[in-house]
Amino acid sequence: MEKSDMVPGLRVSLVRDGGAQAPQVVDSADTAYAVIRAFIPVGDEREHFVAVYLDGRNNVKGVSVISIGTLNASLVHPREVFRPAIVAGAAAVIISHNHPSGDITPSVEDKDATVRLRKAGELLGIALLDHLIINDSGDKFSFKEHGLI
């Protein structure tokens, strides 16, 4: 890259954070839940949207809190989900968000966002493996297990 092509003052870097202990391989909705639960606080009345980035063998490469929203909404854009995936060299991603209401039934918006993110991932060659909706009681809804991905 030519020096003139670079944006001054802009740098992207990955930082390894050893703070969260989670299963190394994500091979089910249960192991994905174990990873995600560490990043969505219990008792918070806002929606949190999280992405887990995986290598080709489903080893966790990283986790990112994409957005923290309101009581019943969380802003999600494919750019925010897949930018860290590209930087990390991820082969796949699992997304998740909580429903503070406790009802883990996916909304129309949840389904639409999943379709949009799956299509974006296909264009980039990064598979969307699952979308989990969780609540504070430990319940989870897996789009994959329900045949929606």
> Over the stretch 34-73, which tens digit does the pLDDT of each residue have?
999 999 999 888 999 999 999 999 999 999 999 988 766 6
Mean pLDDT, residues 84-94? 95
CATH number assigned to the domain with residue range 23-142, chosen from the 4 options 3.40.140.10, 3.40.640.10, 3.40.50.970, 3.90.1150.10:
3.40.140.10
Cα(98)–Cα(44) distance, rounded to whole angstroms? Answer: 10
Could you tell me which of 121, 104, 132, 122 has the C-alpha nearest to residue 31? 132
In this prediction, residue 16 carries a pLDDT of 52
What are the Cα distances from residue 100, in Å, to 34, 45, 57, 118, 126?
Answer: 18, 5, 32, 24, 29
- Say whether 77 sits in a helix, a strand or coil: coil
**What's the pTM?**
0.82
* Dihedral over alpha carbons 101, 107, 113, 117 (to 10 degrees): 90
The answer to which of 34-48, 86-100, 122-136 has the lowest mean pLDDT is: 34-48
